Chain A
Amino acid sequence: MTTATSHATGEVTYLEAISQALDEEMMRDERVFLMGEDIGQYGGAFRITEGFLDKYGEWRILDTPLAESGFVGAAIGAAMMGLRPVVEMQFADFISCAFDQITEVAAKNHYRWGAAVPMVIRAPFGGGIHGGPFHSECPEGWFFHSPGLKLVAPSTPYDAKGLLKAAIRDPNPVIYFEHKFLYRRIKATLPTDDYIVPIGKADVKRPGNDISVITYGAMVHLALEAAQMLAKEGIDLEVVDLRTLAPLDKEAIFSSVHKTSKAIVLHEDNKTGGIGAEIAALLAEECFDSLDGPIVRIAAPDTPVPFSTPLEEFFLPKTSDIVAAARKLAAY
């Protein structure tokens, strides 16, 4: 058995944190069960559920047919009947197969006839792994626009574990965007006690006074890197990690920009119509009097995620983008 059951007091990776959250929730609540492709026998494409089948059996770890719409729909039905399904999309890109069930059935269910759907869909998203157009996508924008869904995107092992637990305990459909690039690249020591990270609360990962960088996912780490570099030049970034995309923690976003008067909105998703556009609009509407400079967005260009390395490198926002934009904005 791997780290799935070990309550390590040492460092765990982002991936292990997710695994721990699933394991602990399944032990705590017998209603929680997992569905997805290759999660049982194989232990999951990313090995997150390694050992779970032996521990929980084939009626709590379901290897599903290749039918996202079918098994997401089933999760909805099971959730309505009192269970707590956690569905795994092997890659977030495949969530489009279940788009109909998620946006038409799950999202609208409680609104229409009062039946809650306490379901979680885990979606490994993001690029930087040579995955090409169908294994690197950031699809959160499509669901951001569907009332009735909650969306979360942790950037650290601590947040990954806490948010997944919160998502599983939430009575609403939650899409949990885990950034696959971060899986084994970041580590942290986690509390041994049970804890959650509340949905709907952003986190200031680095306080600062000059420019607010509002971001989520792997981009948080680029922002922190940029902040270190810019500190030497006397430019003090404040990095606000959204952690929850829907509902947005407007209070945190606004109080940061009220303080700094300058904002950079950063995400890996394509720029046009991405969540950054909504945040920029909110800032213009509700923080206008505090703005001392234009709201700058940094995002991937409006193309599918390309495969070839030089193309993907050009595509993904990088630390140097943040540094350049911050310098310009600071001097404005």
Chain B
Amino acid sequence: MVKWLIPLGGAIEKDQSLLEVETEKVDLEVPSPASGVLNEILVKEGETVAVGTLLARIDSAPPAEVISRVGGVVVRPVDSDAAGEEHHSPAVRQLAKEHGVDLAHLKGTGAGGRVSKKDVLEFVARTSAPGTTTAASGEPSMGEEILPLTQMRKTIADRMVKSRQTSAHVSTFFEADFSSIASFRTGRDLTYLPFVVRAVTRALRDVPLVNATWGDQGIVIKKDIHVGIATALEEGLLVPVVRHADRKGLTQLAKEIADLAERARSKKLSPDEVQGGTFTITNHGGFGSLFSTPIIHQPQIAILGVGAVQKRAVVINEAIAIRPMGYLSLSFDHRVIDGATADQFMAKVKHYLEGGHWEQIL
């Protein structure tokens, strides 16, 4: 093998000189047997090999353009993470407009995951309540009032539905005796909430799987504990986050919670104060609610609802006693944790709530 006349990867035409060889008798240029691209050189310049040895490989690719009778159907896979940026076909957009459908809530069954016209029509058929438009016979109608949707309402609506579609919500309910907290509170300016936060953070340390999130690579267990406190506002709700809640004492927790709530109501929260939570607590007992099935605040995997604390007759040591009792409602994501884990966690929360020794973590 004397010389390669075409570089590796170069194009060659049939009968074009491809290489120079030296035999016993003569030096000659060898024309290429085919057109294409010199893909592989197996014998280097200067090497001597026996006749018949494979010298190189030429990739004769078929013509780039294949004449086709059928125009293509190009499918761009839908990017499911790019929420709200999804491209919808004109028919889908038109139908959605006519029927007042928010396309962000639809799961697409079309190619690449796109929302198809069929998906919209089926959604409309499913969600339109039968008979709501039939007026009661003979009675005059009062008409209706339309409240325009605020951005917050749209966001809440969007997030709630998405969360339900994302997580496999399951609920478990526990009851806790709040008497140790109640007696500790006397004379002190503290609500139940800092106690609950405190108990929850300790329980999260005991059952770290609850302080996690669902990821493509696996379940991501967060080492830091940031607790979101669901805060009701006149127009909706926000969930400001108490960062590193496990490192804070009751007084500090109380102060932060109050401050966050105040700034939430006066719209003075910064964006990162409502992000990054790893667990959420919602205090729904304000108007007397006992149980709740709260919706998980994505991308977390559990949310604890605290109901109204009421004096109830309970059995303690085979006798009836009056104790301030409150129900704890946990919604958890069954993709990540099973009932046993959830109950384990809740048992810990109950334990820490009833356990006392509050003066140590004031």
Contacts and interface: CB of A to CB of B under 8 A. Distances in A.
**A–B contact, 8 Å CB criterion (strictly below):** yes
Interface stretch (A22-30, A62-70, A110-118, A320-328): A320-328
A261 B111 contact: no
Counting from the closest, the 7 A-B pairs by CB-CB distance are A301-B67, A292-B91, A292-B117, A297-B71, A328-B73, A261-B91, A289-B94
A298 interface: yes
Nearest to A258: B91
Contact of A317 (B69, B93, B94): B69
B110 interface: yes
Interface string B76-114: 000000000000011111100000000000000011001
A302 B91 CA distance: 32
Interface in B169-202: none
B280 interface: no
A288 interface: yes
Interface in A287-304: 288-303
A331 interface: yes
Contact of B68 (A291, A293, A301): A301
Contact of B70 (A291, A303, A321, A332): A321
B91 to A, nearest CB: 4
A302 B73 contact: no
Contacts, number: 65
Given A302-B67, A332-B114, A332-B116, A294 B91 contact: no
Given A292-B89, A292-B91, A332 B73 contact: yes
A294 B92 CA distance: 13
Nearest to A280: B71
A204 interface: no
Given A332-B114, A332-B116, A289 B73 contact: no
A155 B126 CA distance: 43
B75 A332 contact: yes
A136 to B, nearest CB: 16
A71 B93 CA distance: 56
B66 to A, nearest CB: 9
A186 interface: no
Contacts of B51: none
Nearest to A257: B91
A329 B117 contact: no
Nearest to A324: B70
A68 B71 CA distance: 36
10 contacts: A289-B94, A292-B90, A294-B72, A297-B70, A298-B71, A321-B69, A324-B70, A325-B71, A329-B73, A332-B73
Residues of B in contact with A, size category: 20 to 34
A291 B91 contact: yes
Interface in A226-284: 261, 271
Nearest to A317: B69
Contacts of A290: 90-91, 94
Given A294-B71, A296-B70, A298-B69, 8 more contacts: A271-B71, A289-B94, A290-B90, A290-B91, A292-B91, A294-B73, A332-B75, A332-B114
Interface in A21-63: none
A148 B92 CA distance: 39
Nearest to B117: A292
Contacts of A331: 110-111
Nearest to A322: B70
Contact of B67 (A291, A297, A303, A329): A303
Contacts of B110: 331-332
Nearest to B75: A332
B74 interface: yes
Contacts of A288: 90
Contacts of A289: 90-91, 93-94
Contacts of A318: 69
Contacts of A317: 69-70
A34 B110 CA distance: 55
A214 to B, nearest CB: 13
A291 B69 contact: no
Contacts of B75: 332
B63 to A, nearest CB: 13
Nearest to B68: A301
A292 B116 contact: yes
Contacts of A328: 73, 111
B111 A332 contact: yes
Contacts of B73: 293-294, 296, 325, 328-329, 332
Nearest to A318: B69
A298 B75 CA distance: 18
A103 B147 CA distance: 64
Interface string B12-49: 00000000000000000000000000000000000000
A190 B212 CA distance: 76
Interface in B120-150: none
Nearest to B67: A301
Given A331-B110, A332-B114, A292 B92 contact: yes
Please indicate which of the listed interface residues B71, B90, B110 has the most CB atoms of chain A within 10 Å of its own CB: B71
B69 A301 contact: yes
A332 B117 CA distance: 10
Please indicate which of the listed interface residues A271, A292, A297, A301 has the most CB atoms of chain B within 10 Å of its own CB: A292
A303 B69 CA distance: 11
A299 B67 contact: no
A290 B90 CA distance: 6
Contacts of A261: 89, 91, 117
Contacts of A298: 69-71
Contact of A325 (B70, B90, B93, B114): B70
Contacts of A294: 71-74
A295 B67 CA distance: 18
